[in-house]
Amino acid sequence: MFERIPPRVMIAFKKVMFLLVFFVAMLPYNAWQMMQENGNWNLYAWWPLFVIFGIIPVVDHLVGKDSSNPQEDEVERLAGQRWYSLLTLLAVPTQLAVLAFGAWVLVTTEQFSLAGQIGWILSCGIISAILSINVGHELIHRRSRLENWAGGLLYASVCYAGFKVEHVRGHHVTVSTPDDASSARFGQSLYHFLPRAYLGNVRNAWKLEAKRLKTLGLPALHWRNELIWWNAVSVGFAVAALLIFGWAGLVFYLGVSWMSFTTLEIINYIEHYGLHRRKLPNGRYERTTPAHSWNSNYLITNLGLFHLQRHSDHHAFPTRRYQVLRHYDGSPQLPTGYAGMYVLALIPPLWFRVMNPRVKAYYEGEEWQLSAQEFEQSVA
């Protein structure tokens, strides 16, 4: 639908349409309104999940793809526009509002059954993931202290502050190698991947921070260890939830946090499944290129995720801001946007049926790349 539109027109259009993320953030409030109007509290508790994983994948395909790239002479100008930075920073108060509103609805709604309570927590959790995890990912790559700390705060708001350290200093160094807990090997199911990703990423974050402090002549348990501070912020969120909303509020906060960081790892699974960097004769791995991440150009999900799905370019050039990330025709392409791929990943037989042929086709002539033995040993 958008293939014939000039890139400059598409860029101007997307400049406004990136606001879509904040309309998505309104889904819990929209669900609450429908609960009051229709009295069907338990059904509409699941409404945000239905929209994101039921309606959006369909709309994604109806609207189609966007492969527009900024011209070279536009990149610097676009990267410097404060509007794009403002949008990501606005995610911080929006995330706090979602957490507070979601907890308030849970503890004040007597009509919820257990199914309704679970649906509400998961619904708020997926919205929280879009705000904290997705936007936080954009911000932790920024050199500006305000943006970088805002990213840390977003991750701390869902009890996954270690990602701020591990992602930049760990994942971007070892991506698509056996050393990376966030890179799923060929044939690995999501449910085999998740526990290893949780443990590996948390553990590696502390190792990386201890290593940084050691270079400064400081012990790991030092006040300059940023993980101590960010995890203290997470504890502060949990205590606030308990004091303001009671035990139900604490359960809500922990449930939303679990949904958020689990979504992060599911997206990691999707982004790098089966893609390996070749090992060079000198024992090192080849440089990360757009070939080592799955790419998706479906417009609607890219607007709602600040171009996160242009992940191939992000890994090739990690410091690029989301508004200037590029599409590469030669990078591995997902069959749909992240919303649809998320659902697919939850059903391993369907995932393997859809994705394994794509991985094999990508490595045609180099089938040895699909060997999982070295990967298995490193993550066992």
pLDDT of residue 374: 43
Residues 228-251 have pLDDT tens digits of 999 999 999 999 999 999 999 999
What are all long-range contacts of 162-165, with beta carbons under 8 Å and residues at least 24 apart? 162/201, 162/202, 162/205, 162/206, 162/227, 162/230, 162/231, 163/133, 163/136, 163/201, 163/205, 163/261, 163/264, 164/136, 164/140, 164/205, 164/226, 164/230, 165/205, 165/208, 165/209, 165/226, 165/227
Instruction: List CB contacts of 184: < 8 A, sequence separation 6 or more.
Output: 190, 193, 268, 269, 272, 273, 274
CA 331-333-339 angle, 5° bins: 135
Structure confidence by residue, pLDDT tens digits, 264-292: 999 999 999 999 888 888 888 888 888 88
User: Which residue do the tokens 């402090």 mark?
Assistant: 213
Asked if 41 and 102 touch (Cβ cutoff 8 Å), the reply is: no
Q: Cα(134)–Cα(129) distance, rounded to whole angstroms?
A: 7
What is the distance between the alpha carbons of residues 66 and 71, in angstroms, rounded to a whole number?
Answer: 15
pLDDT at site 9: 87
On whether the CB atoms of residues 84 and 14 are closer than 8 A, the answer is: no
Q: What is the pLDDT of residue 36?
A: 92
Contact (CB, 8 A) for 2 and 65: yes
pLDDT at site 377: 38
pLDDT of the residue at 276: 86
Residue 221: what are its φ and ψ, rounded to 5°? Answer: -90, 75
Per-residue pLDDT, 369: 67
CB 265 within 8 A of CB 342: no
Going from N- to C-terminal start, the domains of the chain cover 7-379
pLDDT at 19: 95
How would you write the pLDDT of the chain (380 residues) with one tens digit per residue? 666 778 788 888 999 999 999 999 999 999 999 999 998 999 999 999 999 999 999 999 999 999 888 888 788 889 889 999 999 999 999 999 999 999 999 999 999 999 999 999 999 999 999 999 999 999 999 999 999 999 999 999 999 999 999 999 999 999 988 889 999 999 999 999 999 999 999 999 999 999 999 999 999 889 999 999 999 999 999 999 999 999 999 999 999 999 999 999 999 999 999 998 888 888 888 888 888 899 999 999 999 999 999 999 998 889 899 999 998 888 899 999 999 999 999 999 999 999 999 998 887 767 666 664 344 434 33
Distance of alpha carbon 186 from alpha carbon 374, whole angstroms: 12
Residue 244, Cβ neighbours under 10 Å: how many?
A: 13
pLDDT of the residue at 290: 87
pLDDT score of 371: 62
Residue showing tokens 């949904």: 259
